[in-house]
Structures are given as C-alpha cells and as structure tokens.
Amino acid sequence: MSLKESSDAAASPETKPAPRKRKSRAKPAASLKSVAPAPEAAAPEPRPAKAETPAETPREFVMPDLGRLAINLLHAANLGQKAARLLMKNEDAASDMNHTLHDLQRVGKTLMDVAASYMRNPVKIVEAQAALFEGYLSLMTSMTRRFLGEDVPPVAAPSRSDKRFRDPDWQENLIFDLMKQSYLLTSKWMTDRVKLAEGVDPHTREKADFYVRQMANAMSPSNFLFTNPEILRTTLATNGENLVSGMEHLLEDIERGGGHIQIQQTDMSAFRLGENVATTPGKIVYQNDLMQLIQYEPTTEKVYKRPLVIFPPWINKYYILDLTPEKSLVKWCLDKGYTVFVASWVNPDARLALKSFEDYMTQGVYAALDAVEQATGEKEVNAVGYCIGGTLLACSLAHMAQRKDDRIKSATFLVTQVDFTEAGELKVFIDEEQIADIERQMHEKGGYLKGSTMATTFNMLRSNDLIWNYVVNNYLLGREPMPFDILFWNSDATRLPSAMHVFYLRECYLENKLAEGRMVLGGETLDLGKVKVPVYLQSSREDHISPYPSVYKATRLFGGPVRFICAGSGHIAGVINPPSSGKYNHWTNDDLPPTPDKWFDGATDNKGSWWPDWEEWLSAKSGPMVEARRPGGGKLKVLEDAPGSYVLVKSED
C-alpha cells in the first residue's frame, strides 16, 4: 500500500509544526502565489495545505533586473551541475544505471509490441494519423476564432482533478492555452492508440498504457520553466532566485537520499513521533524480531471483554492509524470502550532478509494473540487487518481454521485484497521478469527492498501529484513543501525482507494462490472457505491500490457471514475518515449480489464516515463490559512507552 495518495485526505495539517531545519537561500514564495497541486486522492489521499497567499500577488510578467537574473541563472546552473555530479558519484551509480537500462529495454519492448499491431494493419496507422490531424485542425480553428474575439469552448480540457493547469494564464493567455490544449490532445491521442491497438495481450496493454501515461506526464508543459506561466512569472519577479533555491533544495534531497533524488513532499522536521504524531498514550508490552505490540491506555472505566488487535501493513508504518487525536482510529476505538492492541512492525535490514511471509504469520499474528492473552487474560479477540496486514490476517485465519484454532472471533479487513485478479495498477509491475529483477536488486542491496524503491513505485501510480507536483514546487518555484502529517507518514518509508516480498508478489499477485486455495503456509493448504467467523469488508471507491471490485471478490471466498461497505475517497483517506470530519459518504447494502456494480445498484448512500457502521457491527461481537485493563496489569510487563523503538528506525539508518 504506500501510500502515496489522497488529495482528499485533509486540506491542512492539524498538528502544530515544530521549527523547520531545511534552509533556503531565497524565499520567492513570500511575494508570489502558492501552488503545489495536491496529490489526488492519494491519494494521494494526502493533500498539502496551501501556503498563505499574500495580499498582493503579481499576475503580470514583470521586467527583471537583467544583471541579477544572469547571476542567479549562472548560480543555479552551477548548483545543477553539482547535483548531477553527486548523482553520478554515488556508490550505486553503476548498478542503478544497469537497472535503468534494463527498465528502458522492457519499456521499449512493450511499446514495440503495441506499435507492431499498427504495422500489421496500415489502415490503422492512417486512421491514427487522421485522428491526430483532426484534433490539431479543430484546435487551430478554435484558436483562430478566439483570436478574432469569439468566446469558444476549449477543444481539450483537463479533468477536474488535474491540478497542473490551475493558474489563470492557462485559460486566459492565448499562447499558454494553446500549449495546454495541444499537450492534452497529444497525450490523449497517445493513450488512445494503446487502448485501440489490436492483438495485444491484456498485461502488455496495461504496461504500455502505464508507460505512455508516465511519458505524457513527464512531457507536460507545466513541468518546464518557459512553458509554465507561474514558473516564468516567478523567475522574472525574483530575478531567478527561485531557481537558485530550487537547485539548493535538489542538492539537499540528493544528499539526504545518499546520492539519489529523494523528493521532499512535506517539511519532515515539522513532525516528531510521540510528540505531535502517534501521540495516543500506550506501552510496548511485547516484542520479537518482527514486531512490537502496543497496548494502549484505556480512556473509559469500562471496556468490552473481547480485546481488539490491529495488524497494519508493514509496507508503511502503523501510525497512519494514530496520526493526531482528531484523525486517530486508535483513539476513537479507545473512546468507544475497546482494549486496543496494535502491531508495530520492524523496519528490517539485511539481518532479517530471510524472514518469510510465514514468519510474519507466526511472529506477527500468532505471537500477538499469545501476548494479548497474557496481557489481559482473554483468549478470544476481534482482529483488524489493513491492506497487506489484512492479507496476512486472512492467511492466518485460514491456517487457524485448519488447526481448529478459534481465538479470533471476528475479522475486519480494511482495503484488503485476497483475490488479486483485479488488483489495480500495481499489476503493471508484476510479471515473472519483473519479479526476478526485483529479486536481483534485493540481493544486490543486502537482501531487502529499499524503502525508497517501494515509495517510488507508489509515487509513479500518481506521478502528476506525487512526483511532478513537487518537482515544480520545490525545484522550479523554489518553495518549501508545506507541513502535512499524512505526507510525513507517507515519506517515512520502510524496507521489506526479500524472502517475504518475493513470496507475496509471486503467490498473491502473480499466481493468486490464496483465492484459489493453493497457497501453502505453515504446513497447511489455506482454504478461505473454511473461515467461518463474521467478516467486515471495507473498501474505498477511488482506491487505486486495492480497487473496490477486487476487495468485493472476497465476499465469495469467506465461509462465514460477510458485510461489505464502500467508503468514499481512496486507500488512505477512505479509511482514515473520522466522523468528526464530516467528509466522504459511504455506501451500504446488506445483500451481496454477484458483482460490485449490482451491489452499488442496490446500495444506500450514507453521509459521512463509515466508522459508526463498523462500530455497531463490532460492538455486537465484543462481549459484555468489564473493568478497563491497563498496560502492565497482566502477565506482561511494560517494555517502553509507545510509539516504541521499532517505529523510530528510518530506512536510511
């Protein structure tokens, strides 16, 4: 999951930022309008808050001080050369170049497969050329009429979610509008050629569509100095100081990334774990090689008898569930009277390279169940799994069913896939060739996948919002990224052990063994149909990592009663949506027809968060009320305060 999404998550940070450490030579943003399009819900889900817009924001293209402009352009060029040298000098440069060339060969082969379908049918080539010519002719006609004073609708317009062309000059200035519409026409024509190609297998078409969109996004006129009106105005108004600041930011990002560009999406110095994020009081009551188990302090005098154990994804860190008191699912559950435990996964290094998916089950789920019983005296629990944590929970439930272990009495799955046949855009990266390449990379790096690699993968799924947005804001406009808690979490990447990761990719994404009853784990063949406990399936309508049609497939796989709901927004904001926010609807339907489309046809559109619906379902399965339990009050002693030491480990450490 990673979670690199959600411009719908929140409009502004709700935590009090600490003083910034990042330095900037110039601060052109003090006199210019702020941009930084937010990631789409990233999603992208997260959207950085807008900087304050000064009372007077220059919209005209002013004449600069040519002497100062020349000096600053020269300075920026020198800094850019220094950045290029740093990139070439890093110890991984040769290996990175080899992998890049291999990637380019794969891209080239994929696009040639699409091109070959047109070469086999010359009529299709003529039709494609005619379609492009017709689009350009319509645009020229429209621009001519507009030049003569007519009010004409655009031939090509960006989608409502496209933040790249928000500056008024993209509409009001004839030249910039022409560039914008030409680009939109061309990029649509390129993607249409992939969609209309004949005789191309589905996986090749998906890859080609992804690669073409990446190229189109990179070539957008919004990404370049002379074709983006806001960058051009800023450069003229500040005599090029924005470019100097931008190159300084680039150097800092390369130095922080150890010779790789690690784009800063938010002010990382504005947040500290345990101080203004991950602040819900709790204690570490158990730990092993793979996880620390947090038991949170109760906030009510009485609690439900059956504890609640949450297994977050280990692709990111657990505190997405406890960002701030206002956004914290953990605190909300505590306030409702639940005894809450959360697994905080280790950030693994080479020592844990051989840890397997089975190890995550035994040292994660099974170990947590044993620890909860020692801590509370309760053998029966309700469990929650988020994304890959939910996939692990499903595997564990099937394993437990084979062994007649009934300690988990209900299971909640948050944006979780167990059938991967419609697993969304991530499947672009999944085939035997690419998995083998990932395996080689992990071997070269010491037996684990670098956190930055997974982060880049998720960023590419929404490259306009999570890559090019920050290239423009940080490097061309020379502005600091705004502090935003979800993007801080998003940037706090984690490593992945090679054995576990390869198993997950092959067994789930590539071969879909769990859904088909062919996965073997811990000596047992897993059959989800033998999982008879009540299941709550939460999905998100705009989720591009775990698409709701993919999540819905689980309604046909579990053997017990299933409730399926769909929330608004995406992979993060659809889940982390407290009732107090008043955001995003959710859909409910007690029936489970064969397809998600039919489910939606009969669904009820409910205002606001899905959390109350889930809590009503969960409370009925949580037993009577008992005296609240405090960490350390049982057989397990307190090891340290939450958030614990495992979550503090950074991927670059």
Helix (H) or strand (E) holding 357: helix 357-360
Give the C-alpha separation, 282 to 645, whole Å.
13
Task: Report angle CA 358, 359, 365 to the nearest 5 degrees.
Answer: 90
Helix (H) or strand (E) holding 619: helix 611-619
Among 414, 389, 391, CA closest to 539: 414
Among 502, 513, 496, 499, CA closest to 436: 502
Based on the residue annotation, tell me whether 387 is a catalytic residue of this protein.
yes
Q: Are 490 and 3 in contact (CB under 8 A)?
A: yes
Q: Are 244 and 478 in contact (CB under 8 A)?
A: yes
Burial call 487-525: b when 16+ CB within 10 Å, e when fewer: bbbbbbbbbbbbbbbbbbbbbbbbebbbbeeebebbeee
Collapsing DSSP to helix, strand or coil, 310 comes out as strand
Q: What are phi and psi for residue 165, nearest 5 degrees?
A: -115, 40
Q: Which of 387, 395, 508, 566 is catalytic?
A: 387
Helix (H) or strand (E) holding 285: strand 282-287
Q: Are 489 and 647 in contact (CB under 8 A)?
A: no
Among 519, 546, 544, CA closest to 420: 546
Give the C-alpha separation, 600 to 587, whole Å.
8
Give the C-alpha separation, 558 to 552, whole Å.
11
Q: Are 632 and 281 in contact (CB under 8 A)?
A: no
Helix (H) or strand (E) holding 596: helix 596-601
In 72-166, DSSP assigns E strands to none
DSSP label at residue 19: P
Collapsing DSSP to helix, strand or coil, 293 comes out as strand
Query: Exposed, middle or buried: residue 81 (CB in 10 Å: 0-12, 13-18, 19+)?
Result: exposed
Q: Are 254 and 474 in contact (CB under 8 A)?
A: no
Residues taking part in catalysis: 387
